[in-house]
Amino acid sequence: MQLERREIERASSDGRRGPAKRLIKLPGEKRHANRSETAKDIARKIALDKIDKQIKALKQDA
């Protein structure tokens, strides 16, 4: 049976409490880890890392 994991963000009315920790498995990792970042932050980080790798590869080819 496969379990679905959904992102649930919780914040108090005064905004002091951040998103709840949840189990997330990032590409290249072997298991899920507790993370408090939002899905948007994680996606942004992955996209930036991908661009950095592409730039590094282009610099090595030149």
Give the 3-state secondary structure of residue 9.
Answer: coil
pTM of structure: 0.55
Buried/exposed 14-44: b ≥16 CB within 10 Å, e otherwise? eeeeebeebebeeeeeeeeeebeeeeeeeee
For 24-55, what is each residue's pLDDT tens digit? 888 888 999 888 888 888 889 999 999 999 99
Above 70 in pLDDT, residue 7?
Answer: no
Residue 26's pLDDT is what?
A: 82
